[in-house]
Every structure is written in C-alpha cells, then in structure tokens.
Structure 1
Amino acid sequence: MDLTSAHTVLRSQDGVLSRAQALDSGLDDNDLERLLRRRELARIHPGIYVDHTGPATWSQRAWAAVLFHWPAALAGPSALRAHGLRSTAGEGAFASWPDRGVQPGRAAAVEPVHVVVDASRRVTPPAGVVVSRRADFESRVQLHLSPPRLRLDEALLDVAAACSDEAAAVAVLADACQQGATTAARLHASLAARGRLPRRRVLLAILDDVAAGTMSAFEGRYLREVERPHGLPTAHRQVRVVTRGGVTYRDVDYRDFGLVELDGRFVHTGPGREWADLERDVDAMARGEVTLRLGWSHVLEPCRAGLVVGRLLRSRGWDGQLRSCGRDCGAAQWLRRAA
C-alpha cells in the first residue's frame, strides 16, 4: 500500500505523519517499513515520519515535535513564530528566522522546537525539542490551529519572562503590540491571571500604565533609578509651557541645563504624533533648550541612562558630580575616565 490513503493528513501537516495516524489511514507497520526502504518516507523521531528524504523545514520539525508528544502544542518562541510574529527591535527574542532545513533523524542545527504538554505528564523529548509542562493545558493552547500552539499572549509572557533582562522583556511585549498582534490591556489581563512568573511585578506595572494611558510607573522609575542614584540635579516636573501649538507640559525640566521627555508609549502612534514630537523639539531648540527623549528601553538600563543625561547636563553647564550608584554601576567606567 502507498501513501494515497494518508494524503489528506500529510497535506494538512506539511508532509508529516505519525505512526498512529498512518494506522488510522489503513497502513500497517509492514507498509511503513516498506515506504521507509523505498525512501518515500523518512523518520524524524521514533514513530514520526516526513514524506521525503531531504532536509526537514522548520514547519515540519514543529509538526514532528508536536505529534511526537501528542497531545501537545508549540510553546515559547516556537509558538510566536507559528503565530507569525517577527522582531522589530533587531535583537528581540522572536526574530524572523530563516527556514533552514534539517536532515531527518538528526538533531536540529538551529533553534530548538519548544512544545508544551499537560502538567500531569512526564515525557523525554528527543534531540532538538524542549518541553515544558502547564496546568490548564487545554484552556491555554489552540489545538485547532496548524500546527497547534500556545495562545499568543501566554507565549509572549513566557518568552518575556525568560529574557535576560527587563529591557529585553519589555521589547518582546512592545514588538507584539507594535505589530497589532495584541494589546497592552490584553497582556495585562493575561499576566494578572498568571501565578508566579519572573519579572511579574515590573511587567504588571508597565502594562498597567500603558493600558491606562498613565505614566506613573515610568516617571517613578526614572526618578528612583536614574535621577537620584546617579546624583543628577532634582528636576522640576510637569512644568506647564505655552507654545505656539498650545499648552504643553515638560516631563522633566532641568531648567538651564536641558529637558528630558519620558516617552512611555509601547508602540509607535503614527506620523501625526511623531511630527508633533519633532515640532515640539524644534520649538524647544529655538528657545535655546535641548530635549532628550527617553523610552522604556532606556530607563530599564538606568546606569546608562543616568550617564547619558549627566553628560548632556554637564555639556550645558551643570557643575554637579555624576556619581556611581554602586559597585556594578555602568556609569563608573566613564566617571573614572572623566576624573
């Protein structure tokens, strides 16, 4: 018997077939062995086959990993890739990977495939596959999608929690919002419903601010972790200014030394907002003022941000001393050179 009876399944799974599906299609183990000998099938994992002997694509490896652990779904960065997300930051946790082929039966030469199974199961993944376990498995995954995958917001939070630092975690979530795949409000609701998770508190505060359209967490973090620890002068905040475009407010006003605008947006808001920002900065320069714009990615690296702001203020005549916030302060090296 040939693969005709399994054609529908193969077509829906990018040419990948499990032994159980083959048997349901009318094939038996002797048929499978014969198809392997005739090179009409190749084995990716035990009991998992692909309908060619060339390099397996990422999609085929993803299907193979899911079927090997069935019931299972793609998780983490593999789920994000399946959802079609790409990195807009260049170094994000979910880049737009090339679909390099991997020879069936060999370990993955590129990033592993991540899958999730129910928390009650104990499995031993093959080479090239990373398995995680989750409670409420069925409610967190979308088994009807092709291939099955973790729900988008759940996968985003998992990837953000696994990032090396808070700035990278925020970039992951911001990338997804920028692409219109989700919203800060949706992510906040999903995170609020989750239990313990690395960086849960800071991400909740950030998403709460963004979803509510406020700036409290962002402004507070700048004050506590950038301005005060690095010896910057105490700024005037929310200073009302009348310009030709109307009334505006300066976020952080160091008076004679410069202005810091705290841009807590999670996504770009279009050319209208960008032009308004540019025109406001030009108006400030025309008045002899210098404006420095800081976003979440900057404030989440407080030592580096403190150094940048300090250098601006010193260039404008501030005679104070920028200081190190501790032994591991990122501004310390520059301070030593400038001494």
Structure 2
Amino acid sequence: MRHAQTVTPALRRLAAAQAGVLTTRQLEAHGITRHGLARLARDWQRVGNGLYLTGPAAWESAAWAGLLRGGSSAVLGAEGAAYLHGAMRDAPGVLRVWARHRHDDLTVGEFQVRFLRGVRTGRGHLPRTTLEESLLDISDHSTEDEAVAAVTGALALGRTTGPRLLAELDGRHRVRHSATLRLLCSAAARGIESALEWRFQQRVLTPHHLPVPDRQVQRSAGRVDVLYDRESLVIELDGMRDHSVWSKDMMRDNEHLLVDGLITLRYGWYAVERAPCEVALQVAQALRSRGWPGPAATCRRRPRDLPCQVSPGVPGRT
C-alpha cells in the first residue's frame, strides 16, 4: 500500500487476512480519517458501498467482499462453499452469499458476488454452509447436468456420502432435481463420477436393458470408467480433452488390448445425448460378440419415424 505512514501494521495484517478487502468501518477503527481514506482510495478499488480492495482481485477477495458486505451472519453457499470444502476443482466465477438482508450484487475483478436472503449457519475461516447444504443449493439453481456433476464429484472425492446427502434432502421441503439426487445416492449409481456417466446410464444402459457394468475399475493400464469383465469390454466416456490427453488415452487403450485382451469403446457427449440408441446398439453388438447371451430391448424414447435399432427381446443379465 502507498501512504504507509497512515496505515498501521495491525491494519495491514487485517487486510492480508481478508484478501485485501477492508470496510470503511474497519478503516475508521484503525484511525483512518475521511481525509486519509480519500488519499488512500486513489490507489485502491472501491468494490461496493463501504468496501475497498487494497490489492489485486483474487477469488478470496470476492469471497471476503461478499461476507463483509453481507454482515456478521453472512456465509458463503452453493459452488463457493463446495469449492472451499474441496469438492470442486475450480474456483467458481459466481459466488453466492447467504445474508440476513438483501444486498446489491458485487463485481470484484472477474468474479460476481450474488446475495441470497436467508440465515444459514456457517463454519470455517471463510464461513460457509455445510457441503450437503451447498450441493442442494447448487441443484436448486442449476440444470440437471450441473447438479449431477457437483454431486457425483463430491461423492467420488469422498467429501460426503449418499446417506448424509439424503438426510439433508429429507430435511428440506422442496429441492430441484430431488428425484435425480436420490438416484445418485442409491447403490445402482455407485461409481458414477460425472454427468456424462450419469447420462450414459440413464439414456443408454437403463432404457435398453443392457447389463449393469462395474465402474471405476483399476486395471494394469489404469482406471476405466465402465467394465464388462466377463466380456472383456471397456467403455470410456470422454468430455473435452486436449491432444496430449487423447494420445495417453490411445496408448492406454492399446495396452488394455495387448495385455488384458480388453477392447475399448469410447463415447462423448454428442453420442450419448444425440444418439443413445446407436450407442446402445454398438454396446450390445460388442457384448454379444464376446459371449453375452442378450438380447437387449428397444427403448421407448425414439419417435415412430426414428425407431430404436437395438434388437428387441427380453432384458439381459443385470
């Protein structure tokens, strides 16, 4: 900070503890007069009424700005809280803060702070809602895929459990996508770690009565998303990847084949979302060619002019 002669060491420590954010009230409590603040503010950024950012804008700066603006009862929720709990890899660009009173939204650097009216219990140096509360709050304002991604990620990382999430769900009157969340917490969904894997289960396997696979299985060449061990079939479900990752994936597929005799089928979002019946047909053909008695069943999702091409029949092994 410039004008260091007017800024006490205690105030510097406070600013550092709050990621560079200070309130007018805090500045006054440390002896900064209105005239002194006017001089200091030339080098600072005013991010809200009575809020100043004394250094570069970071994610934590946005979090502190929201908490300080929200008052003593304010807590971080939703994606921001899930990130602090270690259940999300990337810091969210939008932070949601629960506060007793309504406040105008803030912009801190590239981050947006939005306020939700309500009282929640917080914990931690940056007070945040519990992870289970946070995941349900995410579901309330998200698409199904976004909610699934948040919940499956938290479950896969071991940050929460199905029973804990269900207990929180049972305590709420209404939660968006609640039926999906309950399925994600069931034994049938164990091992699903992404929204794409959930879509594959719901759009490809279940409606076509294909066998239930093992998931997230460790093999000599690495972990695989879906494994039909008896039929020596691996299915990998890929999001957006760079070329170096694709190269590693191809090497791993080759090793699966050469070392373990496993064939690999790969599908991305477009195939699972736009052509689930065609994907099911390929999976069924691969399973049958390697000993699965089958047959699979047609699904009821396709319109009459685009009939499902998966061979009709009774459900196979589950």
Contact 1:83 1:152 in 2 (8 A): yes
Deviations 1:123-157 (A, max 9, x none): 222343212223xx243x22xx2322222221122
Q: How does 1:97-246 map to 2 (within 5 A)?
A: 97=91, 111-118=93-100, 121-127=101-107, 128-134=112-118, 137-139=119-121, 141-142=122-123, 145-165=124-144, 167-209=145-187
User: 1:211: Cα distance to partner?
Assistant: 9.6
Contact 1:323 1:332 in 2 (8 A): no
Instruction: Give unmatched runs, 5+ long, in structure 2.
Output: 192-198, 235-256, 310-318
Aligned: 1:7 with 2:18: no
Contact 1:176 1:182 in 2 (8 A): yes
Contact 1:226 1:302 in 2 (8 A): no
Deviations 1:285-323 (A, max 9, x none): 9xxxx99999xx99xx68854432234446759999956
Q: How does 1:315-330 map to 2 (within 5 A)?
A: 322=298, 325-327=301-303
Distance 1:149 1:207, change over 3 A: same
Distance 2:25 2:201 in 1: 60
Distance 2:299 2:160 in 1: 40
Counterpart position of 2:244: none
- Aligned AA (2:61): Q
Deviations 1:82-128 (A, max 9, x none): 333334xxxxxxxx25xxxxxxxxxxxx933321213xx23222343
Distance 1:115 1:203 in 2: 23
Q: How does 1:77-116 map to 2 (within 5 A)?
A: 77-87=79-89, 96-97=90-91, 111-116=93-98
User: 1:206: Cα distance to partner?
Assistant: 3.0
Secondary structure at 1:20 match in 2: helix
User: 1:212: Cα distance to partner?
Assistant: 9.7
Counterpart position of 1:58: 59
Secondary structure at 2:136 match in 1: helix
Distance 1:192 1:271 in 2: 38
Distance 1:168 1:43, change over 3 A: closer
Distance 1:228 1:154, change over 3 A: closer
Secondary structure at 2:212 match in 1: strand
TM-score (norm 2): 0.62
Q: What percentage of residue pairs aligned between the two structures are identical?
A: 24
Distance 2:171 2:77 in 1: 18
Deviates more, 1:273-282 or 1:57-66: 273-282
- Aligned AA (1:155): S
- Aligned AA (2:150): V
Distance 1:7 1:227 in 2: 58
Equivalent position to 1:261, from 212, 235, 238? 212
Contact 1:188 1:208 in 2 (8 A): no
Secondary structure at 1:130 match in 2: strand
User: 1:197: Cα distance to partner?
Assistant: 0.9
Between the two proteins, the alignment pairs up a number of residues equal to: 256
Distance 1:76 1:159 in 2: 5
Aligned: 1:308 with 2:309: no
User: 1:65: Cα distance to partner?
Assistant: 2.0
Secondary structure at 2:174 match in 1: coil
Distance 1:193 1:174 in 2: 20
Distance 1:314 1:269 in 2: 22
- Aligned AA (1:114): R
User: 1:173: Cα distance to partner?
Assistant: 1.0
- Aligned AA (2:172): R
Contact 1:185 1:211 in 2 (8 A): no
Secondary structure at 2:96 match in 1: strand
TM-score (norm 1): 0.59
- Aligned AA (2:280): V
User: 1:48: Cα distance to partner?
Assistant: 0.8
Equivalent position to 1:19, from 19, 24, 27? 24
